[in-house]
C-alpha cells in the first residue's frame, strides 16, 4: 500500500503578479499562510491554475523555491514540473527535487499526442531521474491525451508513482483504474465538483481550484468524507456548487483570479493569452460568490 502524499484538499495555487506583471513573491507568502490557516493539506505550485505555461523558466524555478521557503515544511509542497518536452521536464523535476519538493505533479504531454507507450516512457524517465514521489495529472480536455487504465496499471507498479490527479470526468476510467490498481495508485479529484463522488469511491481528496477562495470549506468537505459523513459533505458541496461551477465559467484560472481580486486579495492580472472575464460572466460569478457569503 502506498501512503498518499496528502489526504484532503490541496490547493492548486494561483501565481500572483504585481502591477508590472512580475511574480509577486510577497503576495505568494500571504497566500501560503492563508491556505495553511484554512486547513489546506498540501500546496500544489506551478500547475495549470498557477499559469505555469506562461512562466519563464527562471520564474517557474524561483516560484517553486519561494513556495518551499514560505511553507517551511509545515505541509507537503507538490511542484508542477510536467512538460511536453521530456528533457526539459527531467531538468525541472530534478531541480524541484533538489529544492525539497515533497512530490511532483506531472501532466500528460500536451500537443505532441504521444502513444500510450510514449506516455509510459515519458513519465518513467522523469520520475526515475528526479527520484521523488510523483502524482500523474490527467486532464485530456487541455492536453489532448488521456491515460488508459492499462497505462495506469503499468505505471502504478513503480514505487515512486504515488497517484493521479484525475480531471478527465471519465468515471468509467476511474472505476476501472481503482479496480485494477487498488492501493498501488492513490486517486485525487482534479475537479472540485467531483470531490465527494471520487472520495466516496475511495479517492484521497482533491487538488482544488475552489480552495483558492474557500480553503476551509474544501478542507471541511474532505474531512467529512474521511469520517464517513457523506451526507453532510454532499450538503456542503451542494451549498457551494453554484460558486464552484462559476469558477469554471471561463478558462481556469481566469475566474479564480477574478474571484480572488473581488475578495480583495490583489493577486494581479492574468498573462496573455488569458485575459479579463466577459462582464456578464463576471457578474454571474460575483452573484454566486455573494450567495456563498464570500462577498
SS3 176: helix
User: Cα–Cα distance between 27 and 266 in angstroms, integer?
Assistant: 8
User: Cα–Cα distance between 170 and 139 in angstroms, integer?
Assistant: 10
Between the CA of residue 17 and those of 135, 241, 258, 265, 273, what are the distances in Å?
27, 28, 13, 11, 15
Residues classed as catalytic: 137, 165
Q: What is the 3-state secondary structure (H, E, C) of 90-159?
A: HHHHHHHHHHCCCEEEEECCCCCCCCHHHHHHHHHHHHHHHCCCEEEEECHHHHCCCCCHHHHHHHHCCC
Our CA angle for 283, 289, 292, nearest 5°, is 145
Say which DSSP state 181 is in: H
Between the CA of residue 59 and those of 19, 65, 204, 234, what are the distances in Å?
16, 10, 31, 39
Residue 255 in contact with residue 1, Cβ under 8 Å?
A: no
Amino acid at each position: 500500500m502506498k501512503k498518499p502524499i496528502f489526504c484532503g484538499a490541496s490547493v492548486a495555487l494561483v501565481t500572483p503578479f504585481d502591477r508590472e506583471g512580475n511574480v509577486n513573491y510577497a503576495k505568494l507568502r500571504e497566500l501560503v499562510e492563508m491556505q495553511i490557516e484554512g486547513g489546506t493539506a498540501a500546496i500544489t505550485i506551478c500547475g495549470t491554475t498557477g499559469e505555469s505555461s506562461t512562466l519563464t523558466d527562471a520564474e517557474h524555478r524561483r516560484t517553486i523555491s519561494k513556495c518551499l521557503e514560505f511553507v517551511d515544511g509545515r505541509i507537503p509542497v507538490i511542484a508542477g514540473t510536467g512538460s511536453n518536452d521530456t528533457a526539459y521536464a527531467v531538468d525541472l523535476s530534478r531541480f524541484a527535487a533538489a529544492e525539497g519538493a515533497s512530490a511532483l505533479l506531472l501532466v500528460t504531454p500536451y500537443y505532441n499526442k504521444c502513444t500510450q507507450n510514449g506516455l509510459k516512457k515519458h513519465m518513467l524517465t522523469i520520475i526515475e531521474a528526479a527520484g521523488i514521489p510523483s502524482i500523474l495529472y490527467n486532464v485530456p480536455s487541455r492536453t489532448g491525451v488521456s491515460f488508459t487504465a492499462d497505462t495506469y496499471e503499468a505505471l502504478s507498479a513503480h514505487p515512486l508513482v504515488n497517484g493521479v490527479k484525475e480531471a478527465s470526468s471519465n468515471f468509467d476510467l476511474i472505476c476501472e483504474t481503482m479496480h485494477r490498481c487498488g492501493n498501488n495508485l492513490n486517486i485525487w479529484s482534479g475537479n472540485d465538483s467531483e470531490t465527494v463522488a471520487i472520495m466516496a469511491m475511495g479517492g484521497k481528496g482533491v487538488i482544488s481550484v475552489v480552495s483558492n477562495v474557500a480553503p476551509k470549506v474544501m478542507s471541511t468537505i474532505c474531512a467529512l468524507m474521511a469520517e464517513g459523513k457523506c451526507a453532510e459533505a454532499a450538503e456542503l458541496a451542494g451549498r457551494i456548487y453554484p460558486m464552484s461551477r462559476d469558477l469554471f465559467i471561463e478558462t481556469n484560472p481566469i475566474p479564480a483570479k477574478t474571484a480572488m481580486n473581488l475578495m480583495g486579495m490583489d493577486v494581479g492580472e492574468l498573462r496573455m493569452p488569458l485575459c479579463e472575464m466577459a462582464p456578464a460572466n463576471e457578474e454571474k460569478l460575483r452573484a454566486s460568490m455573494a450567495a456563498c457569503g464570500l462577498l
